[in-house]
Amino acid sequence: MRPSDVYPEGAEFGFELLVCRWAEAAWPPDGGSDGDAVIVARQLGTKRRRWDTIVVECDPAGLAARARFGDRELDSDLLHVVRHAPAEWAWYRDALPHPGYPWRYVRAAVHRAAGRGVVEKRRRNNRIEIRRVAPYPDWVRRIVAVENKPDLDASAARALSDQLARDVDTALADEVWVATAATGGRVEPALLEDVPVEVGILAFAFDADAPGDAWADATVEWHPSDVTPADAESDEERTTTRLELAERAYGAGWRSYHDTMRPDCRHFELRRYGRALVPHCAAKGGPQTAAECAGSCPDFEPEPPVWRTGGWPVEGGPGKGIQSLLRDRREWVRGREYPETGADADPGEN
Ligand code: SF4
- Please tell me the predicted confidence (pLDDT) of residue 336: 63
Q: If you ran DSSP here, which 8-state letter would residue 265 be given?
A: B
- Residue 110 in this model has a pLDDT that exceeds 70: yes
- Best mutation site among 271, 278, 288 for ligand 1 pocket (most ligand atoms within 8 Å of CB): 288
What is the CA(215)–ligand 1 centre distance, in A?
Answer: 27
* Average model confidence (pLDDT) across the chain: 86
Q: Tell me, what DSSP letter sits at residue 173?
A: S
DSSP-derived pairing of the beta strands 175-181 and 200-206: parallel
Q: Phi first, then psi: what are they for 33, rounded to 5°?
A: -155, 140
How far does residue 8's CA lie from ligand 1's centre (Å)?
A: 16
Question: For residue 301, which atom of ligand 1 is closest to its CA?
Answer: 4
Residue 347: pLDDT band with limits 50, 70, 90: very low
Query: Comparing 9-13, 26-30, 205-209, which segment has the lowest mean pLDDT?
Result: 9-13
Distance 318 CA to ligand 1 centre (A): 14
243 lines ligand 1 (CB under 6 A): no
Helix (H) / strand (E) element for 172: namely: none
| Per-residue confidence band for 56, with pLDDT thresholds at 50, 70 and 90 | very high
pLDDT at 70 over 80: yes
Give the tens place of pLDDT for each residue, 303-341.
877 766 655 545 555 667 777 777 777 776 666 665 554
Q: Would you list the DSSP string of 12-73?
A: -HHHHHHHHHHHHHH-STTS--SS-EEEEEEEEE-SS-EEEEEEEEE-HHHHHHHGGG-SS-
Q: Average pLDDT of 139-163?
A: 90
Ligand 1 pocket check for 173: Cβ under 6 Å? no
Rg from Cα positions in the chain: 22
pLDDT of residue 337: 64
- pLDDT tens digits for 88-107? 999 999 999 998 889 999 99
pLDDT digits (tens, 9 = 90+) for 162-195: 889 888 888 899 999 999 998 877 766 556 778 8
pLDDT attached to residue 36: 75
297 lines ligand 1 (CB under 6 A): yes
List Cα–Cα distances, 2 to 75, 270, 286, in angstroms.
39, 15, 11
Fold of the CATH domain 11-63+138-253? Trna Endonuclease; Chain: A, domain 1 (3.40.1350)
Q: Is the pLDDT at 256 greater than 90, yes or no?
A: no
Q: Kindly list the domain boundaries of the chain, sorted by start residue.
A: 11-63+138-253, 73-132, 257-341
What pLDDT, on a 0 to 100 scale, did the predictor assign at position 342?
44
Instruction: Tell me which of 136 and 33 has the higher pLDDT.
Output: 136
Asked if residue 251 has pLDDT above 60, the reply is yes
